[in-house]
Amino acid sequence: MKAHRFSLESVRTLRQQREQQARQRYARSLEAIRKAEARTRASELEWENALKNLEQSAADGMAAGPYAQARTGCLVLEIRWRDQRASLMESRRVAGLLLQELTLATQQRESLDQLERRARRQHAFMVRREEQNQLDELATQRNAGQPGLTGWPRRLSSQPTPS
């Protein structure tokens, strides 16, 4: 019998490649989240420090002009922090979509893997069946003409039947 050949192997290879690409995109998105979290935290700390300095300066009796400039600086830092936070949320949203894409690609590849395993088992079954048929045929040919060796013991017609 011919060796096993999975007819959808090329499709399976393409799906494996698609899954690998999806896995790489998802990994990059997780790295983008990590970086966005670090930038957001740094912006938040910078803004908090500026607010503390502003409060301290106000308590120390800072003049109105420099106070207004410091307050404007704090507003700029707050806007930067909000932008970083929005960027982080977008990175998380994209990562969620990429995870769905990876999950779908994995399921599609696994379904072909399952078909391939089933086809391989079927092929192995057919090989065993063909081998058994060949062995049965060989035994039949070898034992032809020898009563009692190919099946149930036969009674020779010359032997009396017990009563």
- For tokens 């995109």, what's the residue? 25
3-state secondary structure of 129: helix
Give pLDDT tens digits for 66-83: 889 999 999 999 999 999
Task: Give the domain CATH number at 85.
Answer: 1.10.287.620
Q: What is the pLDDT of residue 144?
A: 75
Q: Give residue 46's domain range.
A: 9-116
The pTM is what? 0.69
- Domain assignment present for 22: yes
- Domain assignment present for 84: yes
What is the number of domains present in the chain?
A: 1
| Confidence label for 39 from pLDDT (cuts 50, 70 and 90) | very high
Average pLDDT over residues 30-40: 97
Cβ-contact 15, 105 below 8 angstroms? yes
- Domain assignment present for 151: no
Average pLDDT over residues 26-44: 97
- Domain assignment present for 96: yes
- Domain assignment present for 136: no
- Domain assignment present for 161: no
